[in-house]
Amino acid sequence: MKQILLGCAAALALSLAVPLAAQADDPAAQNAAVAHAARVRADADLARTQQATKAAISDSAHSQQAAVTASADSQKTAISHSADVRTHRIATVSKRRQHAIALAAQARKDRIARQAAAEKKAQDLVARKVTSTPHLGILGGSNGGLLMGVEFTEHPEMWGAVVIQVPLLDMLSYEHLSAGASWVGEYGSVSVPAERAFLASISPYNQLKPDVKYPVPLIFTTTKDDRVGPVHARKFAAKMEEFHEPFFYDEITEGGHGAGADNRQEARTRAEYFTYLMMKIMN
């Protein structure tokens, strides 16, 4: 049996070797085989290239989709954050404004209370015959100068003398004069109707009327007042002059928001105050 199998294998090898030998001797067959192998390799390369291209296109599409999704999410987050910031800012501004309005309202109440207290004390002095109106004088500066202006215009019959120092007097324009814009929280703003009405009611410059018997005031200011400024006093004096009302006016060059730049100047200014008061209420 073993010999029969070996014999069959030898016959098969011989049958295969003859065509291969014949093919090796045929150049045309060799060329055809080479061309066929080249086509096979080319087809395989093309298939691999097409597959790689499809994979790259698929990856690119996925990447683009992921980028678009990430960009959309980022935009949504940015828009949401911006909206939250705006809402917070609006709420903060609203709270600050409400707080400022509350402070201004309280300041108005306090100012009215102080004015009422001063008037009550003056009336008590007259009622108890400690003094009389012609011998009663008042003096105040800055915010106190505003109080002097209010008393001067609202109750001119109560005072024999009024010293108005470095004052606030035009309360409808104060926001635009010197440092006035920084006091809106205290006095209120003309841009708010209710606050404008209050400011108009206490503005000595606007409440000054012709044909009213006012006491003769002493109005004092300084050219270099960098807080209130000299404009309030100048306008008030000019209006009194327009109404042909008598008054004393003194404006020194130095001194800032006070009585003078040094002790000598302050002493001179205070001497002027007391000279005026002696002349008006002690004569």
Distance, in Å, from the CA atom of 211 to the CA atom of 214, rounded to the nearest integer, reads: 9
Report pLDDT for 34.
Answer: 78
54-91 per-position pLDDT tens digit:
888 887 778 788 778 877 787 888 888 878 887 877 87
* pLDDT higher than 80, residue 92: no
* pLDDT higher than 50, residue 5: no
Averaged pLDDT for residues 244-265: 91
User: So where are the chain's domains?
Assistant: 92-281
Report pLDDT for 14.
Answer: 47
pLDDT band at residue 162 under the 50/70/90 scheme: very high
Distance, in Å, from the CA atom of 242 to the CA atom of 220, rounded to the nearest integer, reads: 18
Averaged pLDDT for residues 151-174: 96
Report pLDDT for 73.
Answer: 80
Q: Is CATH 3.40.309.10 what the domain over 92-281 is classified as, yes or no? A: no
216-246 per-position pLDDT tens digit:
999 999 999 989 999 999 999 999 999 999 9
Point out the residues that are catalytic.
142, 257
166-213 per-position pLDDT tens digit:
999 999 999 999 898 998 888 889 999 989 999 999 999 999 999 999
Average pLDDT over the chain, rounded to an integer: 85
Report pLDDT for 259.
Answer: 87
